[in-house]
A and B are shown apart, each in its own frame.
Chain A
Amino acid sequence: MQHVDGNALAGPFADFFSFDVTTATARCNGCGSVGELARAMVYRSGAGTVVRCSTCDHVLATLVETGDRAWISLSGVSAIEVRRG
């Protein structure tokens, strides 16, 4: 399955976070690298969205949505830095 990059997270995550996730930087639990979520690899399918570290392929986050509920996991991220303007 072909991936896109983290720019594609802007829409799906905008309903849940009050900041733009693509410019937020995240630290990967797998390898410790830090980078903007826009640089992550994103796999989208009917089942949901999987976000992987572009350095080590570790799963950073997952998002599954149904009509009236959503499940978000950030289990692969140890910290997120958000810039407040």
Chain B
Amino acid sequence: MSEVSTPGATATPAASAALRAVPRSGWHVATVAAARRETPNASRLELEVDGWPGNAAGQHLDVRLTAPDGYTATRSYSIASSGPGTRVTLAVDKLPDGEVSPYLVDEVRAGDMLEVHGPLGAFFVWAPVAETGDARPVQLIAGGSGVVPLFAMAQAHGDADDPVPFRLLYSARTPDDVYFAGELQRLVGASAPFRLDLVYTRRAPEGWRAPAARITRETLEAAVFPAAEQPRVYVCGSTGFVERVADWLVELGHDPRSIRTERYGGT
């Protein structure tokens, strides 16, 4: 199935159903229900969002902070949770010199209120084969905090007991920097087919099978579904990470139309 259509082409029934399943976005008031450390540099926030219509796995929201003088700053954050209900999970990485993330990581406490806009984006999303009819295997590739929307997809896949084979290739600095470490291990043992490949770039655990190193074209090729299996591929990370990985995937024979990317910018 082509994912780039030409003007005049009609959507497939499956694509229309997927689009209809994505609710309209809007501005909402969110109350922080819980805030805790996810990694030494990131926090996990549980938000209770008034009027939230639920969201698909992989969607994001925008957080708007307003200073007393009226200055506003808006930033996008991927949502780590999916499904109906008004509870939304974020995992926020603190960016050096950031305007919004240091507040969300270091300052926010349970009971604080935030303005959020969402759910946003119908492109970088995944839904079970029962809804989309798309049975191709799914390869997820995460760099650092780029794992957040991909974790939402893996969790939705496990929750739905979806039979489509899933793999996550996840590049993290050190074992301490792995987001959702416990949840990911549970997904590995769940009945929905899910394989986790961790790559450590700065420090690997004692006795790890490979020294700490960045993903290369060779380690990528060894860990992902081969192009011949026509996987759908979702890549999320820094702009540099995403561009390197996407270029290698195309060199390895993957169809560019089957690769969906989400870049979050710098480092």
Contacts and interface: CB of A to CB of B under 8 A. Distances in A.
Interface stretch (B12-20, B39-47, B173-181, B193-201): B12-20
Interface string B50-73: 000000000011100000001000
Given A2-B265, A4-B265, A11-B118, A38 B7 contact: no
A20 B261 CA distance: 17
Given A11-B117, A25-B5, A83 B19 contact: yes
B120 A34 contact: no
Contacts of A34: 4-7
B76 interface: yes
A14 interface: yes
Interface in A10-50: 10-11, 14, 20, 22-23, 25, 27, 34-36, 38-39
B112 to A, nearest CB: 21
Interface of A: 2-8, 10-11, 14, 20, 22-23, 25, 27, 34-36, 38-39, 67, 79, 81, 83, 85
Given A8-B76, A11-B76, A85-B16, A20 B239 contact: no
A35 B4 CA distance: 6
B170 interface: no
Interface stretch (B89-97, B121-129, B137-145, B225-233): B121-129
Q: Is the interface of A mostly helix, strand, loop or mixed?
A: mixed
B123 A36 contact: yes
B7 A20 contact: no
A79 B74 contact: no
Contacts, number: 81
6 contacts: A4-B264, A10-B25, A10-B60, A11-B118, A34-B4, A34-B5
Contacts of A3: 239, 263, 265
Contact of B19 (A23, A39, A81): A23
Nearest to B58: A7
A85 B7 contact: no
Contacts of B61: 11
B11 interface: yes
A9 to B, nearest CB: 9
B260 interface: yes
A14 B242 CA distance: 25
Interface string B220-246: 000000000000000000010010000
B41 to A, nearest CB: 20
A27 B7 contact: yes
Nearest to B16: A85
A83 B15 contact: yes
A7 B123 contact: yes
B7 A36 contact: no
